[in-house]
Amino acid sequence: MARKIDLVIEICGSAGEGTISAGEILSRFMSSQGFEIMSFDTYPSEIRGFGKCVAHSRISNQKIFSPGKNADVLVALNDVHSISQLPFLKETGILIFDNKPLRYHEEDKSIAGWVEPGIISYGIPLHELAQRAAGSSRGRNMVALGAIASLFGINAKAFEESIIKRYSKKSRIVIDSNVNSFIEGYKWAKENITKINGISFESPGIKPSRKKREIINGNEAVARAAIDSGIHLFAGYPITPATKIMEILSKELPGRGGVVIQTEDEISAIGNVIGAGFAGKRAMTATSGPGFSLMTELGNLAIMAEVPAVIVNSQRGGPSTGLPTKTEQSDLNIAVKGGSGDSYRIVLAPTTVEECYECTCLALYLAEKYQTLVVLLLDFFLSNSIRNIDSPKKPAIKLLDANKAPGNRDLKSYKRYKITGTGISPRAIPGTPGGMFVSTGLEHSEEGLPRYDSETHEKMTEKRYMKIQKALKEIPKPKRSGCKKNIKVGVLAWGSTAGSAREAVAEAEKCGIRAAFMSPLSLSPLPVDEITEFANECEILLVPELNSSGQFADLIAPYVYKKIEKLNMVTGLPMPSEDILSKIKEIAE
């Protein structure tokens, strides 16, 4: 009989203790072993100092959609920080802590003192073992991983190899000290701890799929998709949590004939992207809230001048510089509506890492075909969360070359902004014989010459609106799951919250609540028909999202004709499916 294993492991420490990298190593290794994983990190915004870091990963042999709220296992690398993390450990959870720190803790400063009965605590001399293994306390994150491997029946040999691989580019000393620390922790736990939990990843019946899968996070998926979609230019200014995209592309792109420019600011970055788009090359930038705000004006230029441009906005807590290392979904308004005038653009919000890849390909395609600005809305969580996914399908040839180039007839008297039935005008790449045109941010005639009369403005606004609406049919329809009819509670979610919502709905159904789930990929143009239909089928409509005002709820409000139940959270953490579930239960009564 297949057995279920579903474990949330949290590693908590202070910045600089290797907390996040330990979590990442664990997640990547477990997914390489075929387990489903979903990880999430919280860390302080300051680079220097001793702030709290938490690496959270959920590991399962079942399909999972959310990172899980409470941990089954908490590994405390730092007592003070971990004490504040203890409430998130389940009542019957397991605590792994350092029982031999360098000095005595004062009363209640040791996490072990806070453990409620029922929680199993395993004390491991992390410092001492790291010292013994490598002569440095640095390796105590690896000691902890070794202990985890021993306590939860994880293949230590394979784990060890993955650590070697991970540090393969580092010096011998770095590799050895990490590996030795790992082994020391593993051995120590094996010899000294009498296991009193029954959890083991090696139990018979736990068969993870051995299929070769990709271990990837949202940012990596975006970067990969950008390469696979043939971008020539990436321009950007570093900003958490989007920096990683630029980091990867700066390594990968130049070798493939592309260019990565780190510009002086975000305005310049979008300027570069529009320039490349104007020149006929695929280009992209990635930023977060504050940078996106700066880009809005030039984004409007792309819309007005009908130049392809793609902006990835990985959202973080705002406004302004806000919370650089926390997740939030509060840039929806500016992404969909930000800018002056009626600035219609396409906004896609992937809900999974797979969709991060697909949407990036789609965004570059749509931008090129519909000659406009496409915004991709990720968030901190989606950007950094590591998943185990099937290798993404490379974009179809159709998606790679989407420019509607002018035919010979068009070039006889070339009109760059010709009014057509689709709203898409033939786009000549500069240098095309006969394809000369004027491009401007001013309202313009079909030829591109500035014109301010009412008639032109009406016609052109209509044209820009229409082409965006036409794009809708090229974007996958909203996903649905749960009950098909007689729905008591319908949950409509977007972006990274969708996974939790989907899981919550599945759980609600198990509790006998008639619940259904839907999430749209496209926020602009909005799939109004599907949303209206779904809303009509539900007795109560619930919109959970990570912002305080209910930006998505307000966006769809005109189309649902009923009061929307909102579930808003600005904790900086992903929305737990447990919270959505209790909200469903509450409103279903």
Partner 1 sequence: MPKKDHYVIIGNGPAGNKAADVLRENDRNARITILSDEHFSFYYRHKLCDFMSGVIDEDTLKVKFYKEYKEKNIRLRLGQRVEKIDPDSKTLFLKHMEKLRYTKLILAVGSAPRVLPSLLRYKDYFTFMSNYNDAANVKSMLENIKNPIVIGGDLIGINFIKMLSRLKKKATFFMYYKSFWPFDLDIKKADAIRLSLEKNNIKTISGDPVKTISRRDADYIIETESGREIEGDALFSFMGRIPNIQFIKGSGIDTERGILVNEYLQANYKDIYACGDCAQIYNLELKDYWISIGWENSILQGEVAAYNLLGEHRIIKPMSKKIFNVEGIKVKTSWWNQLKT
Partner 2 sequence: MKEEKLYFEKETEDFSGNIRAGKIIKEVRFSDNPRDIKYVSENIPCQKACPANTNIPGYIRCISENRFGRSFELNRMYNIFPGVLGRICSRPCEEKCRHGEGDLGKPVNICWLKRAGADLKSPWHRNKENLYASTGKTVAVIGAGPAGLSAAHELATHGHKVTIYEAMENPGGMLMYGIPEFRLPRTIVEQEIDNIVRLGIDIKQGVEIGIDIKLKELLKQYNAVIATTGCPSAFNMNIPGEELDGVFSGFDFVKNINSGSSPNIGNKVVVIGGGYTAIDCARLAIRLGAQTVSVNLRKTEEFMRIDEHEMAQAKNEKIRIYSLVQPVRIEGKSGSVKEIVFERTRLETDKSGKGRISVPIENSGFAVDADTVIIAIGQHPDAGFAGSGIKLDGQRINTKQGTYKTNIKGLYAAGDCVTGATNVISAIARGREVAQEIDELFVKGKRKKKVVRFEPSDTTDRKRSYDFIPQVKMPTLSLRDRMQNESNEVELGYDKEAAHKEAKRCYLCYYKYEIDTSSCIYCSACIDVAPRDCIKMINEVELNKDGTLGDYIETSDWQKIAAIAIDNKRCIRCGKCYEVCPMDCIHITKVELIEQNLEA
**Which of residues 33, 131, 150, 384 is near partner 2 by CB under 8 A?**
131
CB 185 within 8 A of CB 145: yes
CB atoms within 10 A of CB 52: 18
102 binds partner 2 (CB under 8 A): yes
Kindly tell me which of 132 and 190 has the beta carbon lying closer to partner 2: 132
Residue 136 binds which entry of partner 2, partner 1, none, with Cβ cut-offs from 5 to 8 Å by kind? Answer: partner 2
Residue 124 or residue 542: which is nearer to partner 1 going by CB? 124
End-to-end CA gap in the chain: 36
| Residue whose CB is less far from partner 1, 108 or 264 | 108
CB of 138 to partner 2, least distance (A): 5
Cβ-contact 211, 35 below 8 angstroms: no
Given 3, 62, 84, 105, the residue binding partner 1 (CB under 8 A)? 105
CB atoms within 10 A of CB 287: 25
* Residue 200 binding partner 1, by CB under 8 A: no
Give the Cα separation of 563 and 98 in Å (integer). 51
The answer to the question of residue 49 lying near partner 2 (CB under 8 A) is yes
Cβ contact 95:71 at 8 Å: no
- Scanning 288-407, the segments in alpha helix (DSSP H) are 289-304, 332-337, 353-370, 380-384, 397-400
The structure tokens listed for 149 are 């491997």
Biggest CA–CA distance in the chain, Å, is 86
By CB under 8 A, the residues from 324 to 353 that bind partner 2 are none
3-state secondary structure of 381: helix
100 counts as binding partner 2 under rule CB under 8 A: yes
**What three-state secondary structure class fits 190?**
helix
Taking CB under 8 A as the binding criterion, the range among 92-100, 150-158, 429-437, 461-469 that sits at the site for partner 1 is: 92-100
- According to the binding rule CB under 8 A, does residue 109 interact with partner 2? no
Query: Least distance (Å) from partner 1 to the CB of residue 114?
Result: 9
Size of the residue set binding partner 2 (CB under 8 A): 12
| 136: contact with partner 2 by CB under 8 A | yes
User: Which residue in 4, 48, 473, 563 binds partner 2 (CB under 8 A)?
Assistant: 48
Alpha carbon 159 to chain centroid, angstroms: 26
Q: Applying CB under 8 A, which of residues 137, 178, 496, 522 lies at the interface with partner 2?
A: 137
The answer to whether residue 193 forms part of the interface with partner 1 (CB under 8 A) is: no
> What string of DSSP letters covers 503-568?
HHHHHHHHTT--EEEEE-SEEES--HHHHHHHHHHEEEEEEEESSSS-HHHHHHHHHH-SPEEEEE
Q: Which is nearer to partner 1, 115 or 400 (CB)?
A: 115
Q: Kindly tell me which of 132 and 457 has the beta carbon lying closer to partner 1.
A: 132
| Interface segment toward partner 2; rule CB under 8 A; list 47-55, 258-266, 273-281, 284-292 | 47-55
Q: How far apart are CA 380 and CA 212, in angstroms?
A: 27
Number of residues in the chain = 589
Residue 397 near which of partner 1, partner 2, none (CB within 5-8 Å, type-dependent): none
Strands 346-348 and 522-524: antiparallel
List the single partner that 116 binds among partner 2, partner 1, none, CB under 5 to 8 Å by kind: partner 1
Helix (H) or strand (E) holding 423: none
**Cβ neighbours, 10 Å, residue 37:** 24
Q: Evaluate whether 233 touches 272 at the Cβ level (below 8 Å).
A: yes
* Pairing mode of beta strands 386-389, 214-217: antiparallel
Give dist(CA 245, CA 229) in Å, integer: 15
Q: Does 84 bind partner 1 (CB under 8 A)?
A: no
- The answer to whether the CB of 329 falls within 8 A of the CB of 495 is yes
Other CB atoms within 10 A of residue 230 CB? 17
When binding is defined by CB under 8 A, the residue of 194, 320, 408, 454 that contacts partner 1 is 194
CB of 583 to partner 2, least distance (A): 41
The interface region with partner 2, picked from 48-56, 115-123, 394-402, 538-546 by CB under 8 A, is: 48-56
Site for partner 1 contains 80 (CB under 8 A): no
Angstrom distances, CA of residue 330 to CA of 200, 255, 348, 547? 40, 36, 14, 5
Choosing from 21, 45, 99, 200, the residue that interacts with partner 1 (CB under 8 A) is 99
Binding residue (CB under 8 A) for partner 1 from 48, 103, 212, 409: 103
Site string for partner 1, 116-155 (x = CB under 8 A): xxx-xx-x--------------------------------
Among 100, 165, 256, 393, binds partner 1 (CB under 8 A): 100
**Position 196 contacts partner 1 (CB under 8 A):** yes
- Please give the Cα distance from 486 to 203 (Å, whole number): 41
Quick one: tokens of 40? 């999430």
Residues that bind partner 1 (CB under 8 A): 97, 99-101, 103-110, 112-113, 115-118, 120-121, 123, 194, 196
Residues that bind partner 2 (CB under 8 A): 48-50, 100, 102-103, 131-132, 135-138
